[in-house]
């Protein structure tokens, strides 16, 4: 069972789909992979081919924020913990959906924390850590597939993660910084931890438009005026040392608009398309893209298109393959664009994006979200577009990433015996 897959985020969906395929490849076609998500109702609309089930803590009636629901959350938590401790006698008090999810977890050969970036100070970890606690109490193998971890400063969270890391059979992280966080939180887990690439690189080999497939070519790219795919997202700048983050957000929006203007003047059409859009239940990059368009000079707007519909990762790769170049604030927008074989420039708001681009030899094509200048980013996009295809160095880097990410299921098989 894959735990905590945020399927309404296209990047996390790419990870979940890739990890499901990798597990089936490693353990056989009869492997039954269940994907647990706190957004199961909306996720089922787009991912009908996945076995989507609710997160244990959100099974049953959906939880909402606010004072009134604190009691509900506390009651639910106590009820499920009693069932975990007392087993069958206490399960009579569980809701039907809670009991079903508990039984799924108990019967799973392994509980796998899906890859991504969620073990940080910036997200609610209540349901996530509850899943890890349940895995330990059910005595089921727990594994972490490639993800970025940190920053983490809250003692309660770190204690809970220390218990999870201690129980885990395998901990895969995407970078050295995350590895250091694991070692700091639970030194005894060092022997279980390994650095592997993001699972989404799987698509570079296994998608029809994957850049590493021998039968792939760029013939589907649009002729005439070249198109740049822009994946833009709103930012809160939680890691910034600047006290006035409102100023940062305004600057970021205005510089993005200026970048788009420079690209149109340079002869590009601009397609706003992102991994996270089209669902009211989740952050919508399409809404933010519309704000960027409003900041662009009116005579230039006819060259801009906002695709605000939800897309599966496979569909995004297809769309990216029809563009000449990509500019992405979303890390998985950059990964999927490169999987599609198009040169990519990134704007990094977290360390993970910068580290990824540097590992691919693209240090000159990643800019800081707090300080980037429109003219410099636009020039980098124009230079990337002139290459038309990815360089050999980048292709070799993607190949290493694809090979690396496929090691997680192999290591899991070894640890499970």
pLDDT band of 347, cuts 50, 70, 90 = very high
- Does residue 8 lie in a domain region? yes
Residue 61 has pLDDT above 60, yes or no: no
Mean pLDDT to the nearest integer, 1-9: 93
- Does residue 19 lie in a domain region? yes
159 and 279 inside one domain: no
Contact 377, 357 (CB under 8 A): no
Contact 200, 10 (CB under 8 A): no
Q: What's the pLDDT at 279?
A: 87
- Does residue 133 lie in a domain region? yes
69 and 45 inside one domain: yes
190 and 219 inside one domain: no
Instruction: Give the chain's mean pLDDT.
Output: 91
222 and 363 inside one domain: yes
Q: Which neighbouring-strand residues pair with 171?
A: 144, 193
- Does residue 51 lie in a domain region? yes
Contact 282, 39 (CB under 8 A): yes
Residue where a domain terminates, one of 195, 221, 255: 195
pLDDT band of 57, cuts 50, 70, 90 = confident
pLDDT band of 212, cuts 50, 70, 90 = confident
Residue 224 region by backbone torsions, left for phi larger than 0, else alpha for psi between -120 and 50, else beta: left
Q: What is the pLDDT of residues 125-161, one digit of tens each?
A: 989 999 999 999 999 999 999 999 999 999 999 999 9
- Does residue 153 lie in a domain region? yes
Q: What's the pLDDT at 94?
A: 83
Q: What is the pLDDT of residues 254-270, one digit of tens each?
A: 999 999 999 999 999 99
105 and 223 inside one domain: no
- Does residue 414 lie in a domain region? no
Mean pLDDT to the nearest integer, 226-237: 94
250 and 370 inside one domain: yes
Q: What's the pLDDT at 67?
A: 61
Residue 336 has pLDDT above 60, yes or no: yes
303 and 274 inside one domain: yes
Cα separations in angstroms, 304 against 154, 297, 301? 43, 11, 5
Run of H or E residues at 271: strand 269-272
Range of the domain at 280: 206-401
104 and 218 inside one domain: no
Residue where a domain terminates, one of 138, 172, 195: 195
Domain total of the chain? 2
Measure the CA–CA gap between 297 and 132, rounded to whole angstroms: 50
Residue 219 has pLDDT above 50, yes or no: no
Measure the CA–CA gap between 221 and 198, rounded to whole angstroms: 26
- Does residue 349 lie in a domain region? yes
Q: What's the pLDDT at 44?
A: 92
Q: Find out whether the peptide bond into 151 is cis, omega within 30 degrees of 0.
A: yes
391 and 361 inside one domain: yes
Tokens 């230039």 correspond to what residue?
300
170 and 97 inside one domain: yes
Q: Could you give the percent of the chain with pLDDT greater than 70?
A: 94
Cα separations in angstroms, 269 against 185, 261, 272, 303, 316? 48, 10, 10, 5, 18
81 and 184 inside one domain: yes
- Does residue 340 lie in a domain region? yes
Mean pLDDT to the nearest integer, 291-313: 96
Q: What is the pLDDT of residues 364-404, one digit of tens each?
A: 999 999 999 999 999 999 999 999 889 999 999 999 999 99
Measure the CA–CA gap between 48 and 276, rounded to whole angstroms: 18
CATH of the domain at 350: 3.40.50.2000
Residue where a domain terminates, one of 195, 225, 246: 195
Mean pLDDT to the nearest integer, 174-189: 96
159 and 263 inside one domain: no
């Amino acid at each position: 069972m894959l735990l905590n897959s945020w399927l309404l985020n296209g990047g996390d969906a790419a990870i979940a789909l890739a990890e499901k395929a990798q597990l089936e490849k490693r353990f056989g076609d009869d492997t039954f992979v269940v994907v647990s998500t706190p957004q199961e109702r909306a996720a089922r609309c787009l991912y009908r081919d996945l076995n989507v089930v609710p997160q244990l803590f959100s099974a049953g009636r959906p939880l909402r924020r606010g004072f009134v629901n604190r009691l509900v959350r506390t009651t639910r938590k106590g009820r499920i913990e009693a069932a975990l401790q007392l087993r069958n006698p206490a399960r009579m008090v569980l809701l039907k959906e809670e009991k079903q999810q508990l039984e799924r977890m108990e019967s799973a050969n392994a509980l796998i924390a899906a890859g991504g970036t969620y073990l940080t100070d910036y997200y609610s970890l209540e349901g996530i850590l509850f899943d890890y606690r349940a895995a330990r109490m059910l005595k089921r193998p727990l594994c972490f597939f490639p993800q970025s971890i940190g920053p983490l400063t809250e003692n309660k969270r770190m204690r809970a993660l220390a218990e999870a890391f201690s129980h885990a059979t395998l901990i895969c992280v995407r970078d050295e910084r995350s590895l250091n966080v694991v070692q700091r939180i639970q030194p005894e887990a060092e022997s279980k931890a390994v650095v592997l690439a993001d699972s989404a690189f799987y698509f570079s080999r296994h998608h029809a438009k994957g850049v590493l497939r021998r039968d792939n070519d760029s013939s589907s790219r649009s002729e005439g005026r070249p198109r740049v795919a822009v994946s833009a997202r709103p930012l809160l700048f939680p890691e910034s040392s600047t006290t006035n983050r409102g100023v940062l957000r305004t600057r970021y929006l205005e510089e993005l608009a200026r970048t788009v203007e420079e690209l149109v003047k340079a002869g590009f059409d601009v397609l706003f398309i992102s991994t996270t859009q089209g669902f009211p239940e989740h952050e919508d990059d399409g809404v933010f893209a519309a704000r960027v368009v409003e900041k662009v000079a009116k005579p230039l707007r006819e060259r801009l298109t906002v695709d605000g519909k939800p897309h599966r990762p496979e569909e995004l790769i297809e769309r990216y393959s029809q563009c000449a170049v990509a500019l992405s604030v979303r890390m998985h927008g950059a990964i999927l664009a490169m999987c599609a074989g198009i040169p990519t420039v990134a704007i990094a708001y977290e360390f993970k994006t910068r580290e990824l681009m540097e590992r691919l030899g693209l240090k000159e094509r990643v800019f800081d979200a707090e300080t980037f200048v429109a003219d410099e980013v636009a020039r980098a996009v124009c230079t990337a577009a002139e290459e038309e295809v990815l360089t050999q160095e980048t292709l070799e880097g993607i190949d290493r990433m694809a090979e690396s990410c496929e090691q997680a299921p192999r290591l899991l098989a070894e640890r499970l015996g």
